[in-house]
Amino acid sequence: MSMFESDNFQWRETYFVLFDSTKRPSLKKIIATLEDVGQFQLKSSQGDDEGMFESLNLLAPDDFAALDISYVEGEEVTEQGAALREELAAGEPEDAAKLKRLPRCDARFDIMHFEQLVDGADEETDEMLDPSALLLVMEALMKLTGGIGIDPQSGSMM
């Protein structure tokens, strides 16, 4: 079940982790890694017939957030990597090695970040959404796969 189907959460942003498909982790490995990272509640998960990761949903109640994470591979990801390399080419010098790797990445995690809607809160209430869960998960997935984190909204790499 995607968090898009819940009236209690609103989509805020999508981040990516691009990597080589040969480093695709199993569902068990992803779950174990995320259990080590934070206090998340696993809502649902799905693997393929070989037990490789396909998707999962996490709740981060302390951060008033949820994450939908899904696996994508193939030409679409390769094309995105090449396009990102061109877009980000004028970035920071320390990103040069990552830029060179981008077009060779043929797999990606899409990490959709959702804000929990709080009853009685209005637009003038300070936002309660904390990006900590998103950042912790991004870092863990990058470490697990040797991947490159992308914030497409800011055009930056992690």
Per-residue pLDDT tens over the stretch 38-63: 789 999 999 999 999 999 999 999 88
Can you give the residue range of the structural domain that contains 126? 3-157
Q: How large a percentage of the chain has pLDDT more than 70? A: 90
CATH number, domain of 26, equals: 3.30.530
Average pLDDT in the chain: 87
Cβ atoms of residues 113 and 65 within 8 Å: yes
Beta bridge partners of 10: 115
pLDDT at res. 125: 41
Cα-flanking dihedrals φ and ψ of residue 95, to 5°? -90, 0
Query: What value does the mean pLDDT take over residues 70-76?
Result: 95
pLDDT at res. 121: 56
- 2 contact partners, CB below 8 Å, separation of at least 6: 57, 68
Instruction: Name the residue with higher pLDDT: 90 or 80.
Output: 80
CB neighbour class for 7 (10 Å; exposed up to 12, middle 13-18, buried from 19): exposed
Domain count, the chain: 1
CB neighbour class for 51 (10 Å; exposed up to 12, middle 13-18, buried from 19): exposed
1, pLDDT greater than 70: no
The token pair at 37 is 């990272």
Query: What value does the mean pLDDT take over residues 21-27?
Result: 97
For 102-123, how does the pLDDT look when each residue is reduced to its tens digit (9 = 90+)? 888 999 999 999 999 887 555 5
Alpha-carbon gap, residue 112 to 4, rounded angstroms:
10
pLDDT at res. 118: 80
Query: What value does the mean pLDDT take over residues 19-37?
Result: 95
Alpha-carbon gap, residue 12 to 107, rounded angstroms:
23
